[in-house]
Amino acid sequence: MVDPLAWWPGKYAECRRIARLVDDRMPDAEILASGGPEIFPELLEGHRVVRARIADGIDLCRLPYPDDAFDVGVSARVLELLPPALRAAYVRELLRVCRYRLFLALPLQPELESIDKIKNAYVWDVSRVWQYPAMQPEDLERVLEGCGLTVTFPAEAAGPDAPAPFVIAEIVKTEAAPAMLAPASLAAH
């Protein structure tokens, strides 16, 4: 099947934003790309990227990796597809296997509705893609409440007439000192 959104310039904007944040914060990190688009290995060329995908038989809420197996976790276009009852387990599982940070894309509801309209305009008989309301930043903060983690939502300027269609959440477990990061990343290679 042809991707009906291949022409859309903003298609992977959240993934590109996450990749820039990873490069800025942890340039030598080993990355877990959980679910979602398979573009992270391409965007994070200088990193070792391991993909966890349902298509490969991996349960994203029970990842087959030990605690702190990766320096950083990245996830885009996953949370909005999960039933709300599974979202907390998914986020906590990513935090379990990631040593330092986790970056999550949270698409906002207008973006999800726009994607549905575009897909239905260009593909015949496509059912509604987004069955659940989008996870909001405050929902994520509630999931992480009392865990002792730092959660921020790094802003990226959007045009005055075009608000950002997604929010990136950066969850910091532990700050990685440069001396700590290199051995952790090199040991995995």
The pLDDT, as a whole number, for residue 3 is 53
pTM given for the model: 0.78
For the chain, the structural domain boundaries read: 13-187
Q: Which CATH architecture has domain 13-187?
A: 3-Layer(aba) Sandwich (3.40)
User: Could you read off the pLDDT of 48-68 as tens digits, one per residue?
Assistant: 999 999 889 999 999 999 999
What pLDDT does 180 receive? 39
Residue 174 to residue 185: CA distance in whole angstroms = 15
For residue 189, pLDDT beyond 60:
no
Q: Are 91 and 140 in contact (CB under 8 A)?
A: yes
Distance (Å, rounded) from C-alpha 144 to C-alpha 94?
12
More confident of the two residues 185 and 133 = 133
Residue 151 has pLDDT above 50, yes or no: yes
pLDDT, tens digit, for every residue of 21-40?
999 999 889 999 998 778 89
Tokens 């532990």: give the residue: 174
Mean pLDDT (whole number) for 90-100: 96
